[in-house]
Amino acid sequence: MKLHDVNTGITKHRKRRRIGRGPGSGHGKTSGRGHKGAQSRSGYSRHPIFQGGAMPLVRRVPKRGFNNRFAVVVKEINVGDLERLYTAGEEVNPDSLRAKSAVTGRYDVLKVLGDGQLTKKLTISAHRFSASAKAKIEQAGGSAVVIPGPTPVAEKNGQRIRRGKRPAAPATPAEDATPADESADS
C-alpha cells in the first residue's frame, strides 16, 4: 500500500449491483440465482427459521405448562426493604424504586407487603398494600397512597359489551304527531 492508493475502494455510497447485464458483469444470465429450483423462481420466499426440511426445533422441543397472556404481573416489596433503602421523609413510588434497583423488569402492579420493621416516616405510593404493611406504615407516621392500576381484561370486556348494547331512547309525543294532523289543525 502506498500513499496514492490509501483511499482506493472507499466510497461514501456503495454502487448498486446491476444484475442480468451480460457475462462480463459476473452477474449475467442467471443473475446470481443459480440454475433451476425454487430459489431461482420469482415469488419464492422461505421462512427465516426453515431448517432444510428437518423437524424444526419448535416442534422437537416438548410443550409444557400454560402461559396466560392476560395475567396481571404483581411485583412485591416489603416494608423492611423500604426501611433499608430510604431515609425519613422521602417519597416512595414505582419510579424511585426502579431508580434504586429495588424493583426490576416488567410488571403491572406494585404491592407493598408487611415483612420487616418500619420506623421511618415515608409517603409510599403503590397499587396495593397488605393489611399488615398499611398498619406498619401508619404506625411509623407515614402514609399509604393507592395509585390506580391497570383495568383487568374481564372488566374491559364487560365495559365493551355494555357499551355496545344501549336501549333505544323512548319516543317523545312531538315525534308521534304526523304532518297530516298538523295541516288539519290550521
**CATH number assigned to the domain comprising residue 122:** 3.100.10.10
pLDDT at residue 65 tops 70: yes
Residue 146, C-alpha cell as written in the block: 393507592
Residue 5 lies in a domain: no
- For 84, the domain range is 74-146
Find, among 92, 94, 102, 87, the residue nearest to 123 by Cα: 92
Report DSSP letters for 20-31, one per residue: SS-GGGSS-TTT
Number of domains in the chain: 1
Residue 96 lies in a domain: yes
Taking the complete model, does pTM exceed 0.85, yes or no? no
**Percentage of the chain modeled with pLDDT above 70:** 83
Residue 53 lies in a domain: no
Least confident of 22-26, 46-50, 84-88, 169-173: 169-173
Residue 165 lies in a domain: no
Residues 122, 81: Cα–Cα separation, whole Å: 12
Residue 114 lies in a domain: yes
CA angle 47, 38, 56 (to 5 degrees): 35
- What pLDDT does residue 169 have? 72
Residue 174 lies in a domain: no
Residue 32 lies in a domain: no
- What pLDDT does residue 152 have? 66
Residue 179 lies in a domain: no
